[in-house]
Amino acid sequence: MLIDVHAHTNWLGMTTDDWAAHFRRIGVDRVWLLACVGQNVLRNTMDTEITNEDVMDAAQRYPDLFIPFCAVLPWEADAIQQIERFVELGCRGYGEHKIRLCIDNPDSVRVFQACGEMGLPVLFHMDVPLPSSDMWFNVDLARLPRVMEQCPKTIFIGHGPAFWREISGDAAASPEAYPSGPVTPGGLLPRLLDEWPNLYCDLSAGSGLNAVRRDPEFGPPFLEKYSHRILYGTDYHDTAHIEFLRGAGLSPEAFERITHLNAESLVPVR
Ligand SMILES: [Zn+2]
């Protein structure tokens, strides 16, 4: 069993049929299909919107493959009612939350609390402005404890450069979206994982892969140690993540947890 927890449709020039064929070809059994709304609200970016309707349509057409997630604009008065409506239609999780607010904005916290009540894991993208990447989504990881304190029932799954670069204790001294070289001890991310059992990590995209691959001495032991809280995902149509995991020398138990068991425990496969 292999579950990819981070994918989109109508994305990278590929339709739902293209993505379904791709996942079947590379041996992925289930896919969390994420919506992505609102990135362009305050500023244009190159990102495209992936609507809830497109996600639900794909999940209806490929019910044995795609597990639908929804996303909303937290500042809308009926944001929580929108989520409830998508849950009634079969939605199993919330995300990708990629919003131009601080992660601890009260409107976002209200949405996260509602997701906890409904049993929906929350998958968020985090970016901060850096010389190499002028992005701004859900700033920033240091604010996350304030969120978690207010959302004890919610499962949070982090993703993106501003999440993963904090794997290293010297993140503040290396102003890059994708830092290279040795990971130093005392990173904010490992500290938060130690403190908050409801925090998980999404390995997808360049951010997750870079973080666990940049230091061969650090990456595989990190994956092994936190294997109950790390989830395989891609965001793209390559196989670099699974190839890395297969070559990382993980115990069979850790490999199984990362590649599907953790995902199944958060969103049971029907
Ligand atoms: Zn994504």
Contact between residue 267 and residue 32 where contact means Cβ atoms under 8 Å apart: yes
Look over the chain and give the mean of its residue pLDDT values, rounded to a whole number.
Answer: 94
**Interatomic CA distance for residues 122 and 150, integer angstroms:** 14
Distance (angstroms) between ligand 1 centre and the Cα of 124 equals: 9
Least confident of 30-44, 116-130, 162-176, 185-199: 30-44
Contact between residue 123 and residue 94 where contact means Cβ atoms under 8 Å apart: yes
Distance (angstroms) between ligand 1 centre and the Cα of 78 equals: 24
Structural domains present in the chain: 3-266 (3.20.20.140)
- Check residue 174 and give its pLDDT: 83
| Residue ranges with CB less than 5 Å from ion ligand 1 | 96, 235
Least confident of 50-64, 70-84, 128-142: 128-142
- Check residue 131 and give its pLDDT: 83
Structure tokens at 234: 């891609």
Contact between residue 156 and residue 120 where contact means Cβ atoms under 8 Å apart: no
- Check residue 40 and give its pLDDT: 64
Instruction: Provide the pLDDT confidence category of residue 133 given band limits of 50, 70 and 90.
Output: confident
**Interatomic CA distance for residues 115 and 121, integer angstroms:** 7
For β-strands 122-125 and 66-70, DSSP reports them as unpaired
The H-or-E segment that residue 93 falls in is: strand 93-97
Distance (angstroms) between ligand 1 centre and the Cα of 46 equals: 13
Distance (angstroms) between ligand 1 centre and the Cα of 261 equals: 21
- Check residue 270 and give its pLDDT: 86
Least confident of 46-55, 75-84, 156-165, 254-263: 46-55
Distance (angstroms) between ligand 1 centre and the Cα of 52 equals: 14
Contact between residue 124 and residue 97 where contact means Cβ atoms under 8 Å apart: yes
Distance (angstroms) between ligand 1 centre and the Cα of 11 equals: 9
Write the DSSP assignment of 3-39 as a string of letters: EEEEE-SSBTTB-HHHHHHHHHHHT--EEEE--B--T
pLDDT beyond 50 at 16: yes
pLDDT digits (tens, 9 = 90+) for 21-52: 999 999 999 999 999 998 665 554 555 688 99
**pTM of the predicted structure, to 2 decimals:** 0.96
In the block, tokens 């990629």 appear at 98
The H-or-E segment that residue 113 falls in is: helix 106-118
For 53-80, what is the mean pLDDT? 97
Distance (angstroms) between ligand 1 centre and the Cα of 65 equals: 18
Distance (angstroms) between ligand 1 centre and the Cα of 160 equals: 9
Distance (angstroms) between ligand 1 centre and the Cα of 7 equals: 6
Distance (angstroms) between ligand 1 centre and the Cα of 48 equals: 10
**Percent above pLDDT 90 for the chain:** 86
Rounded (10°) CA dihedral 146, 150, 154, 156: -10
Structure tokens at 59: 């999940």
In the block, tokens 């290279």 appear at 180
**Percent above pLDDT 70 for the chain:** 96
Dihedral sign, CA of 208, 111, 117, 36?
negative
